[in-house]
Structure 1
Amino acid sequence: MRLATLRLGVRTAAVRVEGDSAVDLGMPDVGALLAMPDWRERARSTPGHRLGLAGADYAPVIPRPGKILCVGLNYRSHITEMGRALPQYPTLFAKYPEALIGAADDILLPSRSAAMDWEAELAVVIGDHVRHADEGMAAAAIAGYSVLNDVTARDWQYRSTQWLQGKTFERTAPFGPVLVTADELDPDSGLELAAELDGEIVQRASTADLLFKAVDLVCYISAILPLSPGDVIATGTPGGVGHAHEPPRYLRDGVRVTTRITGIGEMTNVARASS
């Protein structure tokens, strides 16, 4: 199944996407849907009002996750270009819901940063409560997958050894357009992930090259704290980020950023300078 959260005037709605239309599932967003114990059956069988998708306004697929846990240094190409050794354990940091935007919303370039960088990523969305997971439990707890761009203020990220301050600026991180359920998608088989700036490909990789796979990350993180329905794990970005260019290359006002993963979909967002 393909699930999305649409903005419908003064409300939002969780929908099941079917071709060029969608079915309203009677829930305010996909996060609220996943909180229901029978969410899979509800998503599959609810015979709601049908909506056209032409010109649809996509909200972040999970508008307010309880947790957004991000992984740094998880593709060999990106680790190499950043001049680091391969890690033994995942590098984790957090992002907050205020950073998230929809699949066609503008990326807000903060006035306090001159080094906003792109990071195309596979996002893992949790569909069940899970703690101290083994591989089987971890796989069963994954609701599905989406696309996220972890747009980063490099000049703030490297002010200290803690990355969070560069990773969660308001209205910077596109997330969507849909969640594809885990029964229909296997990122370990190798999905093409790519990012473009004004049509120029700047990142291209296979999700099969992730050092720590989705199941590995659920096992590792659930040993630290419980994971709940609607939580999000951003699995890291491959090589091709702007900070690694010589000289570095960053987003500027008016640049069109496209982020895509084969089998999930794509987002196109325009970077806009804040007033």
Structure 2
Amino acid sequence: MKLVQFYQLQDQDRKLQVGVLKEDSEIVALNAAGTMRDVIRSANVHALEEGASYRLEDVKLLSPLTDPEKIICIGLNYYDHVMESNMQVPKVPVLFPKYNNCLVGQDDEVVIPAEVTQCDYEVELAVVIGKTAKRVSLESAMDYVFGYTVLNDVSARDIQLNEPQWTRGKAIDGFAPTGPWIVTADEIANPGDLGISLALNGETMQNSNTKELIFDVPYLVSFLSNTMTLQPGDIISTGTPPGVGMGRKPQLWLKPGDVVEATVEGIGTLRNTFVAEPIE
């Protein structure tokens, strides 16, 4: 099942709705109040009553989650990306946060702040938690996964790498494009063996597989739940493979007008255009 958040283009109030994508061309609304996080909390999304249907071209897709309690990102989690970053392989997961201000959806513009000169892309497999998880075992960790989506961990390298902590360079408004939908866990047989890639203006920049993850999905869920309670709708973004702009020679930075397409096998392609911050 592919689940979306959307509003009708003809709806002047832009009322948020939750729906199911069918045949990649039709959105069927779910008769449920609230956001995707509320739907996930309901525990049995398959039992929700279906409502009106809309053509995909008649709706605006939003980030499939707009109000998670937590967005936990994992840094340096592909061996080759560690090498291109000139860093050591971590012994435990490297963590940093993003926040709801970072979330944008399919075809949304990402604004590059005026002070940022080194804006970078990072395609990632993102895990959506389905039920409260506290001190879960490695063996049971996958029972707490609701589904998966694509997240582009956009980064301002000139801020990130010149300050003691990464947060300010990572948690910029719009710097976590997410979507285009959530694919429920029952449709992904093995999150540890998915093709993952990113194209910049049609040219492939990143191309790998999640089997190259240093810390896999079950480990991350179990590890994080040991010290923080994971809640339904929380996002764990699992890290990016090699090929980021920072690691290229010469280095390559995103500029206004660039179109980035981030793809994870079995989920889909998240597309965003980057624009300059308006000067007042």
Q: How would you bin the TM-score normalised by the shorter chain?
A: over 0.9
Alpha-carbon offset, residue 68 of structure 1: 0.1
Q: Is 2:21 the partner of 1:17?
A: yes
| Moved >4 Å (runs of 4+) | none
CA change 1:93–1:24 in 2 (3 A) is: same
Q: Deviations over 1:101-134 (max 9, x none)?
A: 0011011111121111000000000010010011
Structure 1-normalised TM-score?
Answer: 0.95
Give yes or no for contact 1:26–1:48 (8 Å, CA) kept in 2. yes
Amino acid at match of 1:66: E
Alpha-carbon offset, residue 40 of structure 1: 4.3
Q: Is 2:45 the partner of 1:39?
A: yes
Q: Is 2:175 the partner of 1:180?
A: no
Give yes or no for contact 2:195–2:208 (8 Å, CA) kept in 1. yes
Provide the residue aligned with 1:52 in structure 2. 55
Secondary structure of the 1:48 match is strand
Q: Is 2:269 the partner of 1:255?
A: no
Provide the residue aligned with 2:87 in structure 1. 84
Provide the residue aligned with 2:276 in structure 1. 273
CA change 1:83–1:96 in 2 (3 A) is: same
**Percent identity of equivalent pairs:** 34
Alpha-carbon offset, residue 85 of structure 1: 2.0
Alpha-carbon offset, residue 251 of structure 1: 0.5
Give yes or no for contact 1:129–1:141 (8 Å, CA) kept in 2. yes
Alpha-carbon offset, residue 246 of structure 1: 2.4
Provide the residue aligned with 2:201 in structure 1. 198
RMSD: 1.3
Alpha-carbon offset, residue 203 of structure 1: 0.5
Spell out the pairing of 1:204-219 with structure 2 (5 A cutoff). 204-219=207-222
Give yes or no for contact 2:19–2:28 (8 Å, CA) kept in 1. yes
Provide the residue aligned with 2:36 in structure 1. 30
Alpha-carbon offset, residue 173 of structure 1: 1.9
Could you tell me how far apart the structure 2 residues matched to 1:166 and 1:94 are?
A: 11
Provide the residue aligned with 1:222 in structure 2. 225
Deviates more, 1:14-23 or 1:26-35: 26-35
Could you tell me how far apart the structure 1 residues matched to 2:210 and 2:137 are?
A: 22
Q: Is 2:159 the partner of 1:160?
A: no
Q: Deviations over 1:158-192 (max 9, x none)?
A: 12231111111001221000111111103445211
Secondary structure of the 1:78 match is helix
Could you tell me how far apart the structure 1 residues matched to 2:146 and 2:118 are?
A: 34
Unmatched 5+ stretches in structure 1: none
Q: Deviations over 1:131-152 (max 9, x none)?
A: 0011243111100000000000
Unmatched 5+ stretches in structure 2: none
CA change 1:155–1:189 in 2 (3 A) is: closer
The number of residue pairs the alignment matches comes to: 272
